[in-house]
Amino acid sequence: MGYELRVVRETPLAFAELAKAIAPAGFELRGSDEIVARHGAGDHPVGRWRGGIVGEPGSDWQVAQLVRLSSLLGGKLVGEDGEHYALTDGVVEVVTGGVAMEIGKFDDIVAAGPASW
Protein backbone atom coordinates (compact mmCIF):
# COMPACT_ATOMS: atom_id res chain seq x y z
CA MET A 1 0.00 0.00 0.00
CA GLY A 2 1.29 3.46 -0.90
CA TYR A 3 1.08 6.82 0.78
CA GLU A 4 -2.56 7.74 1.42
CA LEU A 5 -4.26 11.08 1.03
CA ARG A 6 -7.75 11.55 2.46
CA VAL A 7 -10.53 14.04 1.84
CA VAL A 8 -11.45 15.43 5.25
CA ARG A 9 -14.54 17.49 6.05
CA GLU A 10 -16.16 18.87 9.18
CA THR A 11 -19.28 16.85 8.42
CA PRO A 12 -19.05 13.21 7.33
CA LEU A 13 -19.43 12.55 3.63
CA ALA A 14 -22.20 10.13 2.71
CA PHE A 15 -21.75 7.89 -0.32
CA ALA A 16 -25.00 9.21 -1.84
CA GLU A 17 -23.65 12.78 -1.58
CA LEU A 18 -20.43 11.72 -3.30
CA ALA A 19 -22.29 9.95 -6.10
CA LYS A 20 -24.50 12.99 -6.72
CA ALA A 21 -21.69 15.56 -6.64
CA ILE A 22 -18.98 13.98 -8.77
CA ALA A 23 -20.65 13.50 -12.16
CA PRO A 24 -21.16 17.22 -12.95
CA ALA A 25 -17.44 17.76 -12.20
CA GLY A 26 -16.33 15.06 -14.65
CA PHE A 27 -15.63 12.27 -12.18
CA GLU A 28 -17.27 8.85 -12.37
CA LEU A 29 -17.72 5.86 -10.11
CA ARG A 30 -16.41 2.59 -11.44
CA GLY A 31 -17.92 -0.35 -9.64
CA SER A 32 -18.97 0.44 -6.10
CA ASP A 33 -15.86 2.19 -4.88
CA GLU A 34 -13.39 3.47 -7.50
CA ILE A 35 -13.45 7.15 -8.48
CA VAL A 36 -12.06 7.86 -11.94
CA ALA A 37 -11.45 10.92 -14.12
CA ARG A 38 -11.03 11.02 -17.87
CA HIS A 39 -7.83 12.02 -19.60
CA GLY A 40 -7.40 11.50 -23.31
CA ALA A 41 -9.23 8.39 -24.40
CA GLY A 42 -9.22 6.68 -21.02
CA ASP A 43 -10.50 6.76 -17.49
CA HIS A 44 -7.85 6.87 -14.78
CA PRO A 45 -8.20 6.12 -11.06
CA VAL A 46 -8.20 9.08 -8.70
CA GLY A 47 -9.31 7.50 -5.45
CA ARG A 48 -11.55 5.01 -3.71
CA TRP A 49 -14.53 5.14 -1.41
CA ARG A 50 -13.65 3.56 1.95
CA GLY A 51 -16.19 5.26 4.18
CA GLY A 52 -14.58 8.44 2.84
CA ILE A 53 -12.40 9.29 -0.13
CA VAL A 54 -8.90 7.86 -0.05
CA GLY A 55 -6.27 8.15 -2.76
CA GLU A 56 -2.81 6.69 -3.23
CA PRO A 57 -1.50 9.00 -5.94
CA GLY A 58 1.28 7.97 -8.24
CA SER A 59 1.36 11.23 -10.20
CA ASP A 60 0.89 14.96 -9.79
CA TRP A 61 -2.20 14.57 -12.00
CA GLN A 62 -3.82 12.33 -9.40
CA VAL A 63 -2.93 14.77 -6.60
CA ALA A 64 -4.43 17.65 -8.61
CA GLN A 65 -7.61 15.65 -9.24
CA LEU A 66 -7.90 14.80 -5.54
CA VAL A 67 -7.43 18.48 -4.64
CA ARG A 68 -10.19 19.39 -7.10
CA LEU A 69 -12.46 16.66 -5.74
CA SER A 70 -11.88 17.69 -2.13
CA SER A 71 -12.70 21.33 -2.97
CA LEU A 72 -15.83 20.25 -4.81
CA LEU A 73 -17.00 18.38 -1.71
CA GLY A 74 -16.19 21.21 0.71
CA GLY A 75 -13.26 19.42 2.30
CA LYS A 76 -9.50 19.44 2.23
CA LEU A 77 -6.96 16.90 1.14
CA VAL A 78 -4.78 15.68 3.99
CA GLY A 79 -1.77 13.36 3.95
CA GLU A 80 -0.71 10.74 6.47
CA ASP A 81 1.85 13.12 7.99
CA GLY A 82 -0.68 15.93 8.53
CA GLU A 83 0.24 18.00 5.49
CA HIS A 84 -2.59 19.32 3.38
CA TYR A 85 -2.89 20.05 -0.30
CA ALA A 86 -4.62 23.11 -1.70
CA LEU A 87 -5.34 24.99 -4.89
CA THR A 88 -4.30 28.63 -4.52
CA ASP A 89 -4.53 31.04 -7.46
CA GLY A 90 -4.41 28.15 -9.93
CA VAL A 91 -1.41 26.49 -8.26
CA VAL A 92 -1.47 23.14 -6.46
CA GLU A 93 0.44 23.42 -3.19
CA VAL A 94 1.36 21.18 -0.29
CA VAL A 95 1.36 22.91 3.09
CA THR A 96 3.48 21.45 5.87
CA GLY A 97 4.15 23.19 9.16
CA GLY A 98 2.66 26.41 7.81
CA VAL A 99 5.02 26.46 4.82
CA ALA A 100 3.52 26.15 1.33
CA MET A 101 5.49 24.45 -1.43
CA GLU A 102 4.32 24.65 -5.02
CA ILE A 103 3.68 21.40 -6.85
CA GLY A 104 2.74 23.12 -10.10
CA LYS A 105 0.09 24.98 -12.04
CA PHE A 106 -3.19 23.07 -11.94
CA ASP A 107 -3.94 23.51 -15.65
CA ASP A 108 -0.44 22.34 -16.66
CA ILE A 109 -0.61 19.30 -14.38
CA VAL A 110 -4.04 18.27 -15.64
CA ALA A 111 -3.03 18.78 -19.28
CA ALA A 112 0.10 16.63 -18.79
CA GLY A 113 -2.03 13.70 -17.64
CA PRO A 114 -1.55 10.84 -15.23
CA ALA A 115 2.06 9.92 -16.06
CA SER A 116 3.66 8.16 -13.09
CA TRP A 117 6.34 9.82 -11.00
For CA atoms 44, 47, 51, 52, the dihedral sign is: negative
Task: Give residue 44's Cα distance to chain centre.
Answer: 12
10-residue averages of pLDDT along the chain (117 residues): 88 89 90 92 93 94 95 94 96 96 96 87
Grouping H, G, I as helix, E, B as strand and the rest as coil, residue 59 is coil
**pLDDT value at position 90?**
97
Q: Of 72, 3, 9, whose CA–CA distance to 35 is shortest?
A: 72
Question: Is the overall model pTM greater than 0.85, yes or no?
Answer: yes
